[in-house]
Structure 1
Amino acid sequence: VYENIDYFCGLYITDKKSRRKLVDEAIEFVELKDYRKFYPKKLSGGLLRRLNIACGIAHKPKLIILDEPTVAVDPQSRNNILEGIKKLNRDGATIVYTSHYMEEVEKICTRIAIMDKGRIIASGTKDELKSMIKSGEKITIELFDINNDILTDIKNLPHIVSAEFNDSLLLVKSSRGKNNLAVLLDYLKSKNISFGKIYSEPPTLNDVFLEITGKELRD
Structure 2
Amino acid sequence: MIRVLLADDEAMVRAGVSAILATDQEIEVVAEAGDGSAAVEQVRLTRPDVALLDIRMPKLDGLAAAAEIRKVHPRTAVLVLTTFGEDAYIARALGEGASGFLLKSGDPRELLAGVHAVADGAAFLSPKVAQRVITHLAGGRLAQGAAARERIAVLTEREREVLALVGSGLSNADIAGRLHVVEGTVKAYMSAILNRLEVRNRVQAAIVAYEAGLVPRAPH
Instruction: Confirm or deny a common fold (TM above 0.5).
Output: no
Q: Give the TM-score normalised by structure 2.
A: 0.29
Normalising by structure 1, we get a TM-score of 0.29
Larger radius of gyration: 1
More strand by share: 1
